[in-house]
Amino acid sequence: MQSLTLICHSPSLPVKENMAKTALFFFSFSLIISSIFSRTLPPSSATNVLDVTSSLQKTLDVFTVDSQATKSLENQETSFSSSSSLLSLKLHSRVGLRKASDIDYKALTLARLGRDSARVNSLQTRLDLAVHGISKADLKPMETQLDVEAMEGPVISGTSQGSGEYFSRVGIGRPPSQVYMVLDSGSDVNWVQCAPCSDCYQQADPIFQPASSSSFSRLTCEAQQCKSLDVSECRNNTCLYQVSYGDGSYTVGDFVTETITFGDSAAVNNIAIGCGHNNEGLFVGAAGLIGLGGGPLSFPSQIKAKSFSYCLVDRDSDASSTLDFDSVVPADAVTAPLLQNPKLDTFYYMDLTGISVAGELLPVPPSNFKLADNGEGGVIIDSGTAVTRLPTETYNALRDAFVKGTKNLPSTNGVALFDTCFALGSRKSVEVPTVSFHFSNGKDLSLPAKNYLIPVDSTGTFCFAFAPTSSSLSIIGNVQQQGTRVSFDIAHSLIAFSSNKC
């Protein structure tokens, strides 16, 4: 809270002058108190317009994606040494690769939300393990660990299409084998399915053949990369890895170094990556995963990137964007401090201090968003979580403020984890209160209406795309990030948001 300084006047001053100064003091004091406990945005920022017709059309288009989309995407691989980035990969949503196979958009939504809940539970599990001091020595041996919830968040690249994941196409090995990889800011360990397969799931590309790569090299048990793993084992002086996921999925194999290739010419040598011979779970489609987390084994850490950025296109669209490394943060970006959890370096925390609806700050204490010294609480931003989660008290205040500003809209029953929904099938567009994030450096980020009021079917049901959690951890999901370039300025401990920079 801002400090207040009281000035005392000598009693020798004339009474009228004292009275005037006293009145002025209390008037100024009231203004200061008002500015501390409430903040109002400019009137022009109080509401947003949602294009209902356009949003509903996308729920139909998702089932009619051009069957040639995958072939064209394979020819749009990656680029190197652009004017703004040293390394740049094409970024695609799942629907850009394969047409959704669900019977309708509501079924697609329910499948996404089910997997999203598993994702959130897994992130929380990993944080709980880190915060409560469970070490590698406490974990069970690899042979008995496969069915145990462990250290990583799940790869939600499920058997149902359109799960909201984002992919890039990279080359593994030398000569490079081109494959699609899931991009995940909530994971560190990179891995790819490898032959020979003890148990491999179906993927869009051929399984990687280590024997065909001249740059394939197994890591020894004494290698620092092996020691950095959460779960590892030593056999014949070679390092074995395991990454387990909260939904029971896992990948197990050799921990190796390989060459990762971007486009026709850009290559990065000696990247530590899991060569998975035994992989099971909801991984169908992608060949593996590129970890974008903050830990030492993540891809940005291994290439010593000072920054990286991505723009998540609408997950119901076949459009593409880019994942850029060492790119310059746009000058007009909204920045916020990037924080690190001393208990877990994977997640990216941002210093959020408040949320407003229609220009009015929610009546919740800033401590609801604070990362505690013991590693609990705080607000992370995650590319793999779809719907933003907020502690129940904060969510209830946000929902109630939004409902207050939408009394003119017809409400309807909730859907899955969404408890605030509207029947907008008869409307072409609607005006809704603006939802904004407020950061410790005084910067504000206002969200487009389509990033928090989303269709859940094709008949006009729209729901408020936030959800409560009993945890103290808040997660900003990819629905709220869509259409915005999110930059992680690691060198300067900043996160930046740039609208329409995809």
Q: Which residues are catalytic?
A: 184, 382
Task: Please name the helix (run of DSSP H) or strand (run of DSSP E) that holds residue 69, with its range, or none.
Answer: helix 69-74
In this structure, is the dihedral angle defined by the CA atoms of residues 344, 348, 351 and 353, taken in order, positive or negative? negative
- Is the separation of the CB atoms in 246 and 116 below 8 Å? no
Torsion 373-379-384-388 (CA) sign = positive
First to last CA, the chain: 38
Question: Phi, psi at residue 61, to the nearest 5°?
Answer: -65, -25
Residue 324 CB neighbour total at 10 angstroms: 24
**Which of 173, 273, 281, 183 is closest to 229 using CA atoms?**
273
Give 188's contacts (C-beta < 8 A, 6+ positions apart): 152, 291, 293, 294, 295, 296, 297, 298, 301, 346
- What one-letter code names the amino acid at 126? R
Which residues have C-beta within 8 Å of that of residue 273, sequence separation ≥ 6? 172, 190, 191, 192, 255, 256, 257, 258, 260, 288
Using DSSP bridges, classify how beta strands 166-172 and 177-184 pair: parallel, antiparallel or unpaired: antiparallel
CA 453 to the chain's CA centroid: 18
Q: What's the order of all strands across the beta sheet hosting 360-361?
A: 360-361, 352-357, 435-439, 444-446
Residue 390: both structure tokens together: 């907020």
| Rounded Cα–Cα distance for residues 483 and 423 (Å) | 25
Three-class SS state of 57: helix
Of 222, 99, 107, residue with least CA distance to 162: 99
Residue spans of beta strands (DSSP E) within 81-131: 87-93
CA distance 341 to 374: 9
Q: What is the dihedral sign for C-alpha 212, 193, 171, 346?
A: negative
- Amino acid identity of residue 159, one-letter, is T
